[in-house]
Chains A and B, each alone.
Chain A
Amino acid sequence: MHLMSAMNAIPAIHVAIVGAGPSGFYAAEALLRSGLPVRVDMIERLPTPFGLVRSGVAPDHPKLKQAILVYDRIARTPSFNFFGNVQVGRDVTVAELRATHHAVVFACGAETDRRMGIPGEDLPRSHTATEFVGWFNGHPDYRDRTFDLGQETVAIVGQGNVAADVCRILAKPVDELRSTDIAEHALDALARSRVREIHVIGRRGPVQAKFTTKELRELGEIAGCATLADAADLALNAESETELRDRNNLNGPGNFALFRAFAARKPAVGQRAIRFRFHLSPVTLVGDGQVEKLILTRNRLEGPPFAQVARPTDEPVELDCGLVFRSIGYRGVAIPGLPFDDMLGTVPHTGGRVLDGAATLPGLYVTGWLKRGPTGIIGTNRADSVETVESLLADLSKGCDREKRGAEAVGELLERRGIRVFDYQNWSMLDTAEIARGKPKGKPREKFTRIDEMLAASTGRGNEAGRSFGSALEKTCRAMARS
């Protein structure tokens, strides 16, 4: 194997992975499965690993969270180190990681969201799906957000699965959420919710809605809630008919059949209602100091099948509502020290190698949503990370003669800076504590939602003691070998 012979001079390949979500773990897996002597050091800004599987997947979808079992197994392999509570850019720089590791893989995801770009977007009571989902999932960044759930009418702009999650958590009877891992502060707020009518608004038609049929069907099955659609919106143009008939159209036909069924429903007294609205784009949010009304424009569809574009007409539509969520896509955040494509919200790359203009930057790689944009689901990241790691290993096989110190060097650096590293043993203790707190409440876990509480709940040095002993021992051995 080329890489083996190129590596004769060094005992191990040290790779740093920035970000502990699915794409980071699948990159770790691909590296550890390569058969080469790789040491993987995963650096994560939160004390808790697992990215959106922990803080994005909805609490009432617990099965999807079982992906964590795979990540846990990876994290427990001996050549894997977890550096939680460490932020690249603030606590350690990209340049420093390039010095301590043979390669750095960025798997930081897409932490912010796309804006609608309309007046009034930042008014109180205008929110993003990102913050609402983070809030009900107990993400520390969103712990103190508040949402006026006393409002009866809510508008969600967007018709993808994240919009479906926001809608479902607002629409479900709160008792159905009590036995999930939803954050306590969210459960309390939802128990007092007066939300009655939720408009889920898309700029194109029912055939173009991005829901997977499974998620849309689930909305239609919420107890005490009627899902409704306007028959007028279901009159299709020829291009949409063509899209519907296409064999490769996975969700269109199922979705359209569901919307048809919704159009035949009637709202019942006392029931919540979810109204699917189509061919509408938001133009302005208005209100006296906070959102009171959403002004939209009616669209018509133009273009060929599978490239139908919404074009505004002059027909304004008004919706009185006091709470708005935009759910039109997550967006990546620039990392200090890395190139960034501001239009796409991604790091430019070729096959996962980071690009600066036309040149690849040696030793720097990207995977996951930061690489390809916020598309796909958990498993999509697996194939993606395999591609990035293939590029990485191919590059290393062309020349890997420099010995690096990896985890030991980063550990020393962080200790000098007084950074409290949260290692995997710390996470295990926190995990156990969350599960124990959830038991008396009939919940799978009660999450910690503040960083200082997480750090306090898991005192004890975990692997730190073992590592400092190991490095002291190694120093002694090397000193002895030199003399």
Chain B
Amino acid sequence: MPHVVTDNCHLCRFTECVAVCPVECFHADKERTYIDPEVCIDCSACIPACPVRAIYEVIDMPDDQRHWIEINAERARALPVVYAKQEPLPTAAARRAQLGF
């Protein structure tokens, strides 16, 4: 089952996930990334790569994050693929500290 980018990506957008995705399934807007569930191959490379643990496999998702499943699918369809790692947002360091990572 596909992987999903949840809350913690907001204000970060590290894109470490993009660097390790073998199939280029990440799409992004200016604020955060989204995984295209049609392309994701469930390899889980992205899960440990994210500095703020924003990514879950559907089976492991906390209930309060489940709304992200549909959002990832919708937003990935509407946005372009991100091929390479990019600079995080200026708010990323503070957000990471606030999340306890």
Contact = CB atoms under 8 A, between A and B. Distances in A.
Interface of A: 22, 26, 33, 63-64, 66-67, 69-70, 212, 214, 247, 250, 254, 376-383, 386
Contacts of A383: 19-20, 85
A22 B44 contact: no
Interface of B: 19-24, 41-48, 57, 60, 83-85, 100-101
Contacts, number: 53
B23 to A, nearest CB: 6
Given A379-B22, A383-B20, 11 more contacts: A22-B22, A33-B84, A67-B43, A69-B23, A247-B101, A250-B48, A378-B22, A379-B46, A380-B20, A380-B45, A386-B85
A382 B101 CA distance: 25
Contact of B44 (A66, A70, A214, A382): A214
A60 to B, nearest CB: 13
B48 A379 contact: no
A218 to B, nearest CB: 11
A422 B46 CA distance: 35
Q: Which of A22, A214, A381, A382 has its CB near the most chain B CB atoms (within 10 A)?
A: A382
A247 B42 contact: no
Contacts of B101: 247
A381 B43 CA distance: 13
B22 A67 contact: yes
Contact of B83 (A33, A63, A67, A254): A33
A250 B47 contact: yes
Contact of A379 (B20, B60, B83, B100): B20
A12 to B, nearest CB: 23
Chain B binding surface, main DSSP class: loop
Given A63-B41, A64-B41, A70 B20 contact: no
B20 A66 contact: no
A250 B53 CA distance: 10
Given A33-B83, A66-B41, A382 B47 contact: no
A168 to B, nearest CB: 16
Q: Which of B22, B83, B84, B100 has its CB near the most chain A CB atoms (within 10 A)?
A: B22
A283 B60 CA distance: 39
A383 B21 CA distance: 9
Nearest to B19: A383
Contacts of A379: 20-22, 43, 45-46
A214 B57 contact: yes
B20 A247 contact: no
Contact of A378 (B24, B43, B100): B43
Nearest to B17: A379
12 contacts: A22-B22, A64-B43, A66-B23, A67-B23, A70-B22, A212-B44, A247-B101, A376-B45, A378-B45, A379-B20, A379-B21, A383-B20
B41 A382 contact: no
B19 A63 contact: no
Contacts of A247: 100-101
Contacts of A212: 44
Nearest to A381: B22
Contacts of B42: 63-64
A345 B83 CA distance: 31
A459 B39 CA distance: 34
Nearest to A65: B41
B29 to A, nearest CB: 22
Contact of A70 (B24, B45, B48, B60): B24
A104 B100 CA distance: 43
Contacts of B60: 254
Q: Which of A250, A254, A383 has its CB near the most chain B CB atoms (within 10 A)?
A: A383
A212 B46 CA distance: 13
Contacts of B83: 33
A386 B84 contact: yes
Contacts of B20: 379-380, 382-383
A33 B43 CA distance: 24
Contacts of A214: 44, 57
